[in-house]
Structure 1
Amino acid sequence: MLQQTLTIRNKLGLHARPSALLAKTAGLFKSSITLTSGSRSVDAKSILGLMTMAMPCGTELTISAEGPDEKAALESIVELFENRFGEEE
């Protein structure tokens, strides 16, 4: 299993569009991908689960990937966060 801790940097946090993009990207991989913030964890392939986390800008979270393509999955998701999900701020 691979893990990485990230901070949400886009101004509006993990709202509907980034959640959809994250779930879509996670769904491309066979690995199990989980986001954990505080004591709550959700399946990154579930847009509903991601939206219920209500993670604003500045939230620190851990991404975990486990499976046959875990390295590629983690790299793709980290890239989304680093690029602020394509948002300006």
Structure 2
Amino acid sequence: MLTKSFTIQNPSGLHARPASLFVQKATSYPCNIYVIKGTKKINGKSIMGLMTLGAAKGDEIILEIDGEREQQAMDELGSLLEAVHE
């Protein structure tokens, strides 16, 4: 299992479009992916779960990934979380 923290860089936070891109990438991996913000831990393959986090620019998000291709998933999803574009 891999765990790593990231800081949201997108000026609009993890709103609909970045959340949708995140879920699309997450579902392409066969591993379990969880996103943690504060006391909330959600399934990273759930668009509704990501939206309920209310992650804004500057917020710390922790990814917890376990299973096949976990390192590749961590690298790619972490890049999405830290992307500056909207």
Cross-structure match for 1:69: 69
The within-5 A match list for 1:3-82 is 3-82=3-82
How far 1:6 sits from its partner (Å)? 0.5
How far 1:3 sits from its partner (Å)? 1.0
Alignment partner of 1:13: what SS?
coil
How far 1:80 sits from its partner (Å)? 1.0
Alignment partner of 1:78: what SS?
helix
Aligned-pair RMSD on alpha carbons?
0.9
Task: Tell me which amino acid in the other structure corresponds to 1:79.
Answer: S
Equivalent residues, number: 86
How far 1:35 sits from its partner (Å)? 0.5
In 1, Cα distance between equivalents of 2:83 and 2:10: 9
In 2, Cα distance between equivalents of 1:53 and 1:80: 16
**Consecutive aligned runs of 4 or more in structure 1 exceeding 4 Å deviation:** none
In 1, Cα distance between equivalents of 2:6 and 2:82: 9
How far 1:5 sits from its partner (Å)? 0.4
Extract unaligned runs of 5+ from structure 1: none
Task: Tell me which amino acid in the other structure corresponds to 1:68.
Answer: E
Report the identity percentage. Answer: 35
